[in-house]
Amino acid sequence: MRFSRKRALITVGLSVLAAAPQYAADMRHLTLTEAVHLALAQNRALKIARLKVQESEQKKAGEHSAYFPALTNQSNVLRITELQQIDIPAGAFGGVNGSAIPGQALSLGQGKNTFVSSGTMLSQPLTQLIRVRARNRIAAAEIATSRDDVKKAENQVAIQVHTLYYGILIARLQKQAAEQQAAYAGERLRESEDDIRNGSALKVAAIDGRAGLLQGQQAMLTAELQLSDLTAELNDLLGLPLDTQLVLDPAVPANVDLHSSEEFVKTAWTENPEIRAAEDSVRKARAAVAAAETAYIPDVTAYARHSYQNGVPFLLHNFGEFGVHLNWEIFDFGKRRAAVRERQTQLAEAEENLRRLKDEVAVTVQRGYNKVEQTRNMVQVANEVVKLRQESERLAENQRNQGVILVSDRRQATSASYKAQNPNWRGSDDCYTDDGYGRRRQCSASYKAKQVKGSTK
């Protein structure tokens, strides 16, 4: 029996030791900056966006190759059913010593039933180079657009990291406040039950105490569920396993040093990824107009060709040729004109969209600027409230030690102190809430400038 107990204890101890490194591996300590960098490096959506840039670059490389000559080969093996015949009657060439030449009628087949041909040609487009240049400009604009999309995605991921990071810190404060509220309700219930036994309180006080305790437990469970959801979202955003336990550093930069709104608007018009993508779309549309207009130019190609054949009569087996090939579509019932007008309409749409985005970004920056100023004032007020609540908690602790107040009153002061910190964190997180245009803003001036400029590092 003793041996069995010892073996069981050893087994449990080894299990605990084996599980400890795994638990430690699931813990991840992160600062806000580290979380942003990790998300930019491991987020799957960003990886897809960067692969699209590579896709556009390869497309541009393919378009660029059209500038150079092309070497092609065309080969054929044919089988014909009947040959051309040359009939020579007897004596067609006269006679010699009374003998006809030829002595009898002849039928000579021309060529062979199996015909083989092979030609290798080196061709260089000439007038088509104008069209090739326009297509390369379109491909270059697509590369720039895909890179702007990457910058936009990086900004969105960085803002989501900030939002979830602050959300987790707020949820933890809410959980701590709920725990203190539940502890306060428990102390209050115990005191009410003591008063009822002493005859100095009615049973309704105990009922109210139990209701308060249940409400505190409900708030604590709600905070735990919210914290779990936010942690899972942040893990997914960072590219980590969903069950990773995150230990977030609450020391985040909270300085607000704003420049003028006009400077932010100018910076946004220059560096904002959406505006830059719209400018790339304008350049792409202009190149498309130029490409459509080249359809009126005839295609002129210079070429040199070496050919081999076997089976064609009166033609050398090997011969060469060189020259210029022209292909010109003279009339197409307005097809090319319609294509040009279509591209011109797309260009007008792109230019109008660029003007719309500039106005929209200017309004968004102004709204975010006003919101940052209001939030800064809210944070200052919240800081004062926190200081007062902490001082109240300190005084309550002293009064409890002196026996002036009850333990429940001390718990209530601690709960109020934690609750007072929530608006402070919310003031920092509020700058990351949606602004009504599908973008997110933040109150840190340095990070805001980077976001507007299209940089998140």
pLDDT, one tens digit per residue, over 438-448 is 333 333 333 33
What is the reported pLDDT for 254? 61
Which percentage of the chain shows pLDDT scores above 90? 33
Interval 326-348 mean pLDDT: 92
Inform me whether the pLDDT recorded for 34 exceeds 70.
yes
Inform me whether the pLDDT recorded for 32 exceeds 80.
yes
What is the reported pLDDT for 412? 56
Q: What is the chain's length? A: 457
What is the reported pLDDT for 395? 67
Per-residue pLDDT band for 205 (boundaries 50, 70, 90) equals: low
Lowest mean pLDDT among 120-134, 155-169, 186-200, 421-435: 421-435
Give the integer Cα–Cα distance in Å for 106 and 133. Answer: 62
Residues 240-277 pLDDT 10s: 888 888 888 888 766 656 777 788 888 888 888 999 99
Interval 293-305 mean pLDDT: 93
Give the integer Cα–Cα distance in Å for 209 and 203. Answer: 10
Beta strand ranges found along 200-298 (DSSP E): 245-248
Inform me whether the pLDDT recorded for 50 exceeds 80.
yes
Inform me whether the pLDDT recorded for 207 exceeds 90.
no
Q: What are the tokens at 413? A: 């002061």
What is the reported pLDDT for 132? 93
Which percentage of the chain shows pLDDT scores above 70? 73
Interval 186-210 mean pLDDT: 68
Per-residue pLDDT band for 99 (boundaries 50, 70, 90) equals: confident
Task: Identify which has the larger pLDDT, 272 or 453.
Answer: 272
The answer to whether 133 and 286 have CB atoms below 8 angstroms apart is no
Residues 120-151 pLDDT 10s: 999 999 999 999 999 999 999 999 999 999 99
DSSP-derived secondary structure letter, 431: T
Give the integer Cα–Cα distance in Å for 404 and 256. Answer: 43
Give the integer Cα–Cα distance in Å for 417 and 404. Answer: 20
What is the reported pLDDT for 373? 78
Inform me whether the pLDDT recorded for 281 exceeds 60.
yes
Inform me whether the pLDDT recorded for 177 exceeds 60.
yes
Give the integer Cα–Cα distance in Å for 319 and 307. Answer: 6
The mean pLDDT value of the chain amounts to 78
Interval 151-176 mean pLDDT: 89
Interval 91-118 mean pLDDT: 77
Interval 217-233 mean pLDDT: 87
What is the reported pLDDT for 22? 44
Give the integer Cα–Cα distance in Å for 397 and 391. Answer: 10
Residues 408-425 pLDDT 10s: 555 555 555 555 555 544
Interval 51-56 mean pLDDT: 93
What is the reported pLDDT for 432? 43
What is the reported pLDDT for 79? 85
